[in-house]
């Protein structure tokens, strides 16, 4: 009898152990599923400058981007040492405190000896105008980067712009100045240039030696989608600096021509070697005239508006200021104020 009871106990223990062993994988599997975390979405780095006297533009640009996307945007806000505290306080004390951002200080000493002084439009010689030349030095960890001028408003989802395809071997994508028939009337009415003739001095031998037809369509570098690997591989920054230095010595282009001193080196270096941005992602020339306007329907369809030119939407006179003011956030410190007729 004792032997039978002992045998039954042994069999019972074995049965219990068998069930536990065979149930364990299922339990572990369920636990693993419960511990899984959702994969983080790709980070979209957006570079925008914060210049003295124009920080309201920076804030409006960031506000428009942040409000129109669900994407994981990281803003790189580039400023000079003297302007950084102001823009940081503005962001941290407004509804933009929720954004992801990094403040990057730009050292203007990198431009020493590379800018030819030109009194006709001194604002075009401000150091932050050249930040786009130095993207790989400022932004270290990203393969793809968006650069935007501060005088823009984004009405579309920035993810679409980030998804712009760059052809193999291209370090950047831009919008051609001839790519959108709807803007041609604006170009003609205010006498803007949209070919290389408007930016480079073809009387100079160094320009003629490039072999670029003066009637070649130009592009606007106020909106850039850049491939950092190609940029570094092709030494784009060094090439741009070379043409800046040559301009100091030979006056190959100037701000009296179409686009000032930051556009011309890029036209030379990227000629025939860039991809295209969807034209609706760069509707420009809103700052070229205080009178000539686009149709409201056309502007509503636009993904990005650019007030390039002298007439900025935070100043007076300017056009389509209502579209810009939709995204403006007042300065908590009261230092930056809009210029309006009633003021």
Class of domain 44-176+220-231+274-326 as given by CATH: alpha beta
Where do the structural domains in the chain lie, given as residue ranges? 44-176+220-231+274-326
Measured CA to CA, the distance from residue 169 to residue 306 in angstroms comes to 28
Task: Name the residue with higher pLDDT: 124 or 38.
Answer: 124
Write out pLDDT tens, residues 96-114.
Answer: 999 999 999 999 999 999 9
Half-sphere exposure of 130 (CA within 13 A, CB side): 23
Measured CA to CA, the distance from residue 42 to residue 198 in angstroms comes to 39
Proportion of the chain above pLDDT 90, given as a percent: 69
Supply the pLDDT for residue 30.
36
Is the pLDDT reported for residue 309 higher than 70?
A: yes
Proportion of the chain above pLDDT 70, given as a percent: 80
Which of 48-62, 108-122, 131-145, 305-319 is least confident?
Answer: 108-122
Per-position b or e across 291-318, b if 16+ CB within 10 A of its CB? eeebeeeebeebbbbbbbbebbbbbeeb
Write out pLDDT tens, residues 143-192.
Answer: 999 999 999 999 999 999 999 999 999 999 999 988 666 666 665 655 56
Write out pLDDT tens, residues 197-224.
Answer: 888 999 999 999 999 999 999 999 999 9
pTM: 0.86
């Amino acid at each position: 009898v004792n032997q039978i009871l002992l045998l039954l106990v042994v069999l019972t223990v074995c049965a219990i152990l068998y069930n536990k062993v065979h149930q364990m994988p299922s339990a572990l599997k369920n636990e693993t599923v419960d511990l899984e975390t959702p994969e983080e979405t790709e980070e979209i780095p957006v570079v925008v400058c914060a210049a003295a006297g124009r920080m309201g533009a920076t804030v409006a640009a960031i506000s428009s981007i942040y409000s129109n996307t669900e994407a994981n945007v990281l803003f790189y806000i580039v400023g000079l040492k003297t302007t950084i505290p102001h823009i940081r306080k503005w962001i941290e004390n407004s509804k933009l405190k929720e954004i992801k951002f990094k403040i990057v200080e730009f050292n203007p000493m990198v431009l020493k000896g590379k800018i030819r002084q030109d009194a006709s439009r001194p604002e075009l010689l401000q150091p932050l105008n050249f930040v786009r030349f130095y993207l790989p030095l400022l932004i270290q960890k990203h393969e793809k980067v968006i650069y935007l001028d501060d005088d823009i408003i984004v009405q579309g989802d920035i993810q679409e712009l980030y998804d712009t395809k760059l052809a193999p071997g291209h370090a950047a994508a831009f919008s051609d100045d001839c790519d959108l028939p709807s803007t041609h009337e604006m170009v003609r009415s205010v006498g803007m240039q949209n070919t290389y003739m408007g930016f480079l001095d073809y009387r100079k031998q160094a320009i003629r030696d490039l072999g670029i037809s003066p009637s070649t369509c130009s592009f606007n570098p106020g909106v850039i989608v850049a491939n950092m690997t190609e940029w570094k591989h092709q030494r784009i920054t060094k090439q741009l600096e070379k043409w800046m230095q040559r301009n100091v010595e030979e006056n190959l282009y100037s701000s009296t021509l179409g686009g000032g001193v930051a556009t011309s080196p890029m036209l030379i270096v990227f000629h025939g070697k860039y991809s295209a941005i969807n034209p609706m992602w760069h509707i420009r020339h809103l700052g070229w005239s205080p009178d000539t306007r686009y149709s409201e329907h056309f502007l509503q369809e636009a993904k990005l508006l650019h007030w390039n030119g002298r007439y900025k939407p935070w100043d007076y006179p300017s056009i389509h200021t209502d579209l810009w003011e939709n995204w403006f956030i007042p300065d908590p410190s009261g230092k930056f104020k809009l210029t309006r007729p009633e003021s």
